[in-house]
Structure 1
Amino acid sequence: MDFHHPLFQSLALPLCIAFAATGFLRGVLGPVQAARWAAVGVAVAIVGTVLWVLGWRLMPGALTEKLPWVYAAAALLGLGLEAMRAGRRAQWLAAGILWALVLAILAWQPLPLKIGIWLLGLAVIRAVLKETPRRADAIAMLVLASFGLAALAMMSGSALLFELSLGLGAALAGCALWLWPVGRIAFGASGAVVALLAWLALAQATALLTPARPGALLLLAASFTSGSLVRWGHRRLRRGEGRPWVETLIVAAVAALWVAAALALAHWGGGVDGPAANMDDPYYKPRW
């Protein structure tokens, strides 16, 4: 068996690690503490997968070599916020500050563009963190957005970013099995912060290293409005929310529509018909 095959290292491995680690923490910590800390399992899977695929460089040079550092910093921040029982506003501010630092170190861009990307990231972070941790709505949006980003990266000619985005989505899916159809844990800061920063960093890498259309990436970011759109629809129709597991399916369906629109724009809009535009992505002769 080839342990570097993408079906293993970017699908089976993160999914199994996230599911097993989350279940282990839930069993060891008990129902009360597990509600706070079981989501650490997804952080373990996300960081472990990027280390398996990319390794670790003490002095990173290329953009992709900086990603493990971003993941590790986000995981530590999430653990710290969970330990301090930080509120949603504090989580949003802390994650926003880290996102600004990530933009500063990943690559050079004009300042106005960086500010715009930072504000977009703040909106994405807020959209996810305001969801109820005991429900699977937030993680469903993250799973769909990650798989959509993986598809966009592959269409844009980057096998590396495809694998990293696929691994992120698989890790989140493994954790989601503990939240849906019945919520047995909470998707708190210990898992949400690293997932958000990982997605934002991968989206930024896709924008910088591939010819992916900015509009497609914006549509993927818009998928994080799905939870708010569903609640707005309920208010407009003057009907209450249904069962949580049904509501999560509706949120996922709306997110899937955003993802489909992004991929349709990428496919028919032109601009993703060549290899990655920047050779900072070295993954053209993969080990598998």
Structure 2
Amino acid sequence: MDFHHPLFESLALPLVLSFAATGLLRAVLGAVHGRRWASAGVAPAILVASAWVLGWQMWPGELTEELPWIYASAALLGVGLEGMRAMKRTTWLACCVLWALVLVGLSDQPAVLQVATWAVGAAAIAAVLGAPLEQADAPASLLIAGIGLSAVAFISGSPLLFELGLAIAAAIAGCALWLWPKVRIGFGASGAVVCVIAWLTLAQGLALLTPVQPEVLLLLACALTSGPTVQWLRRGRRPALDAVIVAGLAALWVVGAVALALHGQAQAARQTQDTPHSTPPRLADKP
């Protein structure tokens, strides 16, 4: 087996590692604590997959080299908040502070743009953290949004970000298998924080490293709000059915984002073709 094949790095490794780590935590910690802490198993899957692809630089210089450090910071924050049994408002505030630090550290964009990006991220964080702990709503929206992020990265011409986005989605899927169709764990801060911060950070990396349109990323971020939308519209459905509807609604946002990205690429290619090529100056005739 080629352990550096993209299918292994971005699919098999994070999926299997997340599923196994989540199940191990649930079994070792017992029925009560295991159910509470099991979602922390998604963190090592995201960390190992990113380090496997990018390596781990002690002194990161490029944006991609900073990603494993950001993921590790988010994982530690999630575990700390879970250990403190922090309320959802406190968890949201802590995540928003980390998200602001990520934005400041990744680039020196204009303040207005960074504030707008932070606000979109803060809304996405609130949507993920506000989902019921023992339902698959948040993992479902994160999974579909992760697939959408990787698809847009591929369209934008970044195979590396495509692999990283797919790895995040695969890690979330491994944990989500313990939540759907039968709920056996809770998706608390120990898992949710690292997932949403990793997704937002990779989306920001896509905005900085590729010519993707901001509207495309906004549509992908809207996919993370599918859980609260379905909860608001809920009319006595079973939680298992809610997860399917959340995934379907998130898929609609992702389809819109992918369609817009493809349209933008087609327009860019058309403009390139329509641009007249410069002709070299004519040389004077020799006598």
TM-score when normalising by structure 1: 0.91
Aligned to 2:138: 138
**Contact 1:178/1:184 (8 A) holds in 2:** yes
Q: Which runs of 5+ in 1 are unaligned?
A: 235-239, 275-288
**Contact 2:15/2:171 (8 A) holds in 1:** yes
Amino acid aligned to 2:250? A
Aligned to 1:259: 254
**Contact 1:47/1:72 (8 A) holds in 2:** yes
Sequence identity percentage:
58
> How do 1:1-288 and structure 2 match up within 5 A?
1-234=1-234, 240-270=235-265
Deviation of the 1:230 alpha carbon: 1.7
Residue 210 and residue 23 in structure 1: after superposition, are their counterparts in 2 closer, same or farther (change >3 A)? same
Deviations 1:45-69 (A, max 9, x none): 0111111111111111111111011
Deviation of the 1:271 alpha carbon: 6.7
Aligned to 1:282: none
**Contact 1:133/1:187 (8 A) holds in 2:** yes
Number of paired residues?
Answer: 269
Deviation of the 1:270 alpha carbon: 3.1
Partners of 2:86 and 2:151 lie apart in 1 by 34
**Contact 2:130/2:228 (8 A) holds in 1:** no
**Contact 1:212/1:271 (8 A) holds in 2:** no
Deviation of the 1:208 alpha carbon: 0.6
Deviations 1:81-124 (A, max 9, x none): 01100010010000000000000111110111101101111000
Partners of 1:202 and 1:225 lie apart in 2 by 18
Deviation of the 1:272 alpha carbon: 8.5
SS of the residue aligned with 1:154?
helix
Partners of 1:7 and 1:88 lie apart in 2 by 36
Deviation of the 1:241 alpha carbon: 2.5
Partners of 1:186 and 1:44 lie apart in 2 by 17
Residue 39 and residue 106 in structure 1: after superposition, are their counterparts in 2 closer, same or farther (change >3 A)? same
Partners of 2:36 and 2:174 lie apart in 1 by 17
Partners of 2:47 and 2:230 lie apart in 1 by 31
Deviation of the 1:231 alpha carbon: 2.7
Partners of 1:218 and 1:241 lie apart in 2 by 30
**Contact 1:99/1:118 (8 A) holds in 2:** yes
Deviation of the 1:172 alpha carbon: 0.2
RMSD: 1.2
SS of the residue aligned with 2:202?
helix
Partners of 2:16 and 2:268 lie apart in 1 by 34
Amino acid aligned to 2:211? P
Larger Rg: 2
Partners of 1:229 and 1:253 lie apart in 2 by 12
**Contact 1:152/1:266 (8 A) holds in 2:** yes
Aligned to 1:278: none
Amino acid aligned to 1:260? V
Residue 50 and residue 272 in structure 1: after superposition, are their counterparts in 2 closer, same or farther (change >3 A)? farther
Deviation of the 1:34 alpha carbon: 1.1
SS of the residue aligned with 1:259?
helix
